[in-house]
């Protein structure tokens, strides 16, 4: 049975395959863009009988740069592509078992794209939803 920490670490490791992107399996106090932050959002236990399967939902937040930088938006667009060297979907799904820790995973969508504020500084960010299946 996978732990939340193992899944977070595995997702961060897959994201680390994107050149130039920092990754964090925990929420940093002061993120330094470009960075991918992995957070669990919910768990559905016992989705099959006899503790056969749990479904974990994770949020991956990509902070590309300051909101007033045009280059930040262009970079964020690359992370949002369904394929390519910057693609979050491609990187996360590059090892769908996270080294054998889980049964399967998939990036199910891009849920938010826009400006966020951290410590009174606006950044450009996107949030991705990831579904992980583990027994």
Residue spans of the domains in the chain: they are 4-134
Which position has the higher pLDDT, 120 or 61? Answer: 61
Instruction: Work out the average pLDDT over 81-103.
Output: 97
Q: What is the number of residues in the chain?
A: 135
Q: Which CATH superfamily is domain 4-134 in?
A: Phage minor tail protein U (3.30.70.1700)
Q: Does pLDDT of 127 surpass 90? A: yes
pLDDT digits (tens, 9 = 90+) for 21-37: 999 999 998 899 999 99
What is the arithmetic mean of pLDDT over 46-71? Answer: 84
E strand intervals along 5-134 = 22-24, 35-48, 53-66, 104-118, 121-134
Q: Higher-confidence residue: 69 or 107?
A: 107
pTM over 0.75: yes
74 or 57, greater pLDDT: 57
Q: Is 120's pLDDT higher than 90? A: no
- Beta-strand ranges (E) seen in 29-87 are 35-48, 53-66
CA distance 45 to 61: 24
Q: Bigger pLDDT: 73 or 5? A: 5
């Amino acid at each position: 049975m996978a732990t939340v920490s193992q899944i977070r670490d595995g997702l961060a490791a897959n994201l680390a395959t994107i050149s130039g992107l920092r990754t964090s399996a925990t929420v940093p106090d002061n993120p330094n863009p470009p960075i991918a932050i992995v957070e669990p959002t919910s768990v559905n236990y016992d989705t099959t009988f006899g503790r056969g399967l749990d479904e974990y939902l994770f949020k991956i937040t990509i902070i590309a740069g300051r909101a007033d930088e045009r280059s930040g938006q262009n970079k964020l667009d690359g992370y949002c592509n369904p394929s390519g060297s910057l693609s979050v979907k491609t990187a996360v799904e590059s090892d769908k078992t996270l080294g054998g820790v889980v049964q399967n995973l998939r990036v199910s969508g891009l849920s938010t794209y826009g400006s966020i504020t951290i410590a009174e500084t606006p950044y450009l960010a996107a949030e991705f939803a990831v579904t992980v299946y583990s027994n």
